[in-house]
Chain A
Amino acid sequence: MTSSEIHMPGEVKSDPAALMASLQLMPTPVPNPEIKYTKIFINNEWQDSVSGKVFPAFNPATGEQICDVQEADKADVDKAVQAARLAFSLGSVWRRMDASERGRLLSKLADLVERDSIYLATIESLNSGKPFLPTLFVDLQGTIKTLRYFAGYADKIHGTSIPMDGEYLTFTRYEPIGVCGQIIPWNFPLLMTAWKLGPALACGNTVILKPAEQTPLTCLYMAALVKEAGFPPGVVNILPGFGPTAGAAIASHMGIDKVAFTGSTEVGKLIQEAAGKTNLKRVTLELGGKNPNIIFADADMDLAVEQAHQGVFFNAGQCCTAGSRVFVEEPIYEEFVLRSVERAKRRTVGSPFDPTAEQGPQISREQQNRVLEFIQSGISEGAKLECGGKALGVKGFFIEPTVFSNVRDDMRIAREEIFGPVQQIMKFKTMEEVIERANNTDYGLAAAVFTSDINKAMTVSTAMQAGTVWINCFNALSTQCPFGGYKMSGNGRELGESGLREYSEVKTITMKMVAKNS
């Protein structure tokens, strides 16, 4: 695998020899990996698009095309719905299967992902620009653990028997909803696939999943593993394609019972509208965020600086949870800015297959331009550009790690989701003030507070209008913990037991009894 030519600003600030010594022990990507699966996956079969159209998949580190992929559109969605509906029919193999056996299949899928994790991490890096080692250790592990977690839940989804008034025997059944459309983004392609498939299949649904057009490749490989694991045909269908065509077809399909979407708030609104216009399918949304990270003067400074840095720069800033508003208490503000800038300058940007690179490219030229435009707005609206601010290199879509200080709450960079490696640092005086400013947004996905004071921690975390609040940590996510947004960051929760609720329909069965006794 050839790494791209990057023009680095200044020298690499690390001891290459020591790094290389330890990196010898690290796993390496598959050289010249073969892309095996580029078609549409319906009924456990690989199919060409009905229209015959294909679209390109790119390597964002170089801008070069990797391959062509079959492009699904409405006609393919129709085929998939037919297959998924049939697989869900009463008496089908999938409906008759023991819940524990559904769990067994998910478990096998996890094992297969683990078996092929180096290959999958290689393709994920190639197609998304994420650095290889973090992809292997974070994304792949997260994917495997999520599948295993939901595998364990399949036969533990309990209804209840209910002491109802009257001569009745009453109980609830938690049934699968039916055919679920799932539309996932490009920032964590494999992980998002697992977050969607896990609970949906554990609960017994059938699925039509559209990966992002930027990153279809690992999802299609997963389809092959789904078949290898032994899922019956029609249970999982994967349709690569574009939002306005395939995605819209899913959101408005009369034969789809539920749609789950992760992506931008802008498109989230379209999905909800589409559901309302058609069959009122159930909708869950995981959307954007402009997440506040609140640093008090009594915080552990080293910890706070590093966590705030990773919190905004991880995945080249392309996280819905990015801590993109760093509120720092006045007494430590100057020092915090100094240290954050110094850390950002040290951040290594390079080829995803360079094991010393912390940050890869943005996903596309479009995203890169969008981020650069935000940076310009920051400069023109009067924020202080402390470091970075420009594109990096000629090939690919790299951006320098960028830090703004003296950011005001009304600036665009403080209000809108940038989705790039741009950190905003603002000053605050009192706890009440920062709580109000942190909540003053239409978003509400995550928040964090750094402090050693137990009372501040409890007060701030309770006050945040956010689905996840971190105390003295950031981006601490795990498959056991429900995750989702307040306000326009979405509705519904993924992961944890809560994740199952969104994939079940509750049926109450009430049977007349003769002589009820307690």
Chain B
Amino acid sequence: MLRAVFSRSLPRVKVVSACHYSAAAIPAPSTQPEIHFNKVDVDKAVKAARDAFRLGSPWRRMDASQRGLLLSRLADAIERDSAYLAELETLDNGKPYAVSYTVDLPTVVKCLRYYAGWADKWEGKTIPIDGDYFCYTRHEPIGVCGQIIPWNFPLLMQAWKLGPALATGNTVVMKVAEQTPLTALYVANLIKEVGFPDGVVNILPGMGPSAGAAIAGHMDVDKVAFTGSTEVGHLIQQASGNSNLKKVTLELGGKSPNIILSDAKMEEAVEQAHFALFFNQGQCCCAGSRTYVQADIYDEFLERSAERAKKRVVGNPFDLKTEQGPQVDEEQFNKILGYISSGKKEGAKLMCGGSAAADKGYFIQPTVFGNVQDNMTIAREEIFGPVMQILKFKTLEEVVERANDSKYGLAAAVFTKDIDKANYIANALRAGTVWINCYDVFGAQAPFGGYKASGNGRELGEYGLDNYTEVKTVTMKVPQKNS
């Protein structure tokens, strides 16, 4: 039972032509009550998903390798339609088309293909237990999984969620972000096209406080996976405690430290640090938003970073020369400007940028602050915008302590040529991913997730399967055990 909302929103999409694009062309969700799903719809979806999961259903009886084949076909279908999907993604989210098409879409396809491969390889064990018993584990699906995804990488977040959940045999009720529902809904159609049985995947566009809360608090949803802000992450975990103790995994915010040592290759470090912060309009959970630069190279680094930021091309996302599009909506736009204002007020040195970049749409100038202190708001809170903080440090021990002094722990990086320093820092940082001499390097094969308030559980890689598995131990009496 898939939502047919897509056909209702499509006419609106066709009207907007690329050359007249601005983020304002897509009306804010609050003015579109007819695509607003709530608890009643969630109940319908959960019922469909539960039915698709019953013992003896086509989905439960299907060979694991066949589940993998369906995921593979979905990847093929997305690849086939990737030019269209990239366009829709850019229209809805504002990210440059060149990036949607060359980064987001291929990564989505690879993620689904990766998990397609796991479906029939996720093996339990047979176990040499004491006594005359034959003991083994089964890796079973959890059941009906609620999945709530954000607006910063709509298609990619959908793939990160569907891949492991479907490979392991669960059924899904997914709520997509109200800011960016369109591409996920198109994929829903592809899911039907490639042949997933009815009820296995259900996709609901809607708002957090209504549809999202309904999922998190639902008595018949066995697990919820949420990617979004730490603030809402708290609510999800509470909702689970208040309802049926459903399993919870969270991918939340970050204030990731990017540590540049004095022996780093300057040009490369500057460019990578720039990319680490400004990619996706600064709207990354793992954005390198505290750039710690060793004292000897601090002045030069600051200047070069400002230079680079001034050169960053902001404009129409459908223009292939554009590096940075608009922020996703007015709320984010205002929030970021508010942070910039606090930076100025609290005494950070504004090197460049600092205000809106245009009168229409939600464009913000690439902004760089120098002389940032650890206790400033812009150094502690997640901005989620194109605002770079550069801080000075002297010693390794000091920077490790300062980097770890955060409620977050999603990612981190260190730039250095020295093998011992690299190992020391990589080991010491309390972060789920540490990059050495690179940033934002992801692979479907490599687990990703947060320490502390950046979340719990890991997505991607083999580890990603754990979150979607119930382990059943079966112990059978035998007449006489032999090794």
Q: Do A and B assemble together? A: yes
Q: Which residues of A does B touch, CB under 8 Å? A: 99-100, 103-104, 107, 145, 148-149, 151-156, 158, 169, 454-455, 458-459, 462-463, 479-480, 497, 511-517
**In-complex Cβ contact of B444 among A100, A480, A497 (8 A):** A100
Residues of A within 8 A of B427 (CB): 169, 513, 515-517
**In-complex Cβ contact of A152 among B110, B118, B428 (8 A):** B118
Residues of A within 8 A of B68 (CB): 148, 152
Q: In the bound complex, how far is the Cα of B353 from the Cα of A19, in angstroms?
A: 80
- B46-85: CB near A (< 8 Å → 1, else 0) gives 0000000000000000001100110010000000000000
**In-complex Cβ contact of B65 among A153, A455, A480, A512 (8 A):** A480
CB distance from A458 to the nearest CB of B (A): 5
A455 touches B117 (CB 8 A): no
Q: In the bound complex, how far is the Cα of B423 from the Cα of A153, in angstroms?
A: 30
Residues of B within 8 A of A511 (CB): 419, 423
Q: List 26 A-B pairs, Cβ < 8 Å.
A: A100-B444, A103-B117, A148-B65, A149-B65, A149-B120, A149-B121, A152-B118, A152-B120, A153-B117, A155-B444, A155-B445, A156-B118, A156-B445, A169-B423, A458-B476, A458-B479, A459-B480, A480-B64, A480-B65, A480-B120, A480-B121, A511-B419, A512-B420, A514-B423, A515-B427, A517-B428
B478 touches A462 (CB 8 A): yes
* Closest Cβ neighbor of A458 among chain B residues: B478
Q: In the bound complex, how far is the Cα of B428 from the Cα of A156, in angstroms?
A: 27
Report the tally of A-B residue pairs with Cβ distances under 8 A. Answer: 80
CB distance from B184 to the nearest CB of A (A): 24
Q: Considering the complex of A and B, which 7 residue pairs feature the smallest CB-CB distances, nearest first?
A: A152-B117, A458-B478, A514-B420, A455-B479, A155-B445, A480-B120, A513-B423
Q: In the bound complex, how far is the Cα of B120 from the Cα of A66, in angstroms?
A: 40
CB of B405 within 8 A of chain A?
A: no
Residues of A within 8 A of B476 (CB): 454, 458
- B457-483: CB near A (< 8 Å → 1, else 0) gives 000001000000000000010111110
* Closest Cβ neighbor of A202 among chain B residues: B117
Residues of A within 8 A of B479 (CB): 455, 458-459
CB distance from A431 to the nearest CB of B (A): 10
Contact A514/B424 with A458-B479, A459-B479, A463-B482 known, Cβ cut-off 8 Å: yes
Judged by DSSP, the binding face of A is: helix
B113 touches A100 (CB 8 A): yes
Q: In the bound complex, how far is the Cα of B191 from the Cα of A16, in angstroms?
A: 43
* Closest Cβ neighbor of B110 among chain A residues: A100
Residues of B within 8 A of A497 (CB): 121, 123
A151 touches B478 (CB 8 A): no
Residues of B within 8 A of A462 (CB): 134, 478, 481-482
Residues of A within 8 A of B420 (CB): 512-514
* Closest Cβ neighbor of A518 among chain B residues: B427
CB distance from B135 to the nearest CB of A (A): 12
B480 touches A145 (CB 8 A): no
CB distance from B459 to the nearest CB of A (A): 16
CB distance from B131 to the nearest CB of A (A): 14
Q: In the bound complex, how far is the Cα of B419 from the Cα of A169, in angstroms?
A: 11
Q: In the bound complex, how far is the Cα of B117 from the Cα of A479, in angstroms?
A: 13
Q: In the bound complex, how far is the Cα of B476 from the Cα of A454, in angstroms?
A: 10
**In-complex Cβ contact of B445 among A100, A149, A479, A516 (8 A):** A100
- B113, B117, B462: most-surrounded residue (chain A CB, <10 A): B117
Residues of B within 8 A of A459 (CB): 478-480
Q: In the bound complex, how far is the Cα of B462 from the Cα of A236, in angstroms?
A: 29
- B121, B134, B482: most-surrounded residue (chain A CB, <10 A): B121
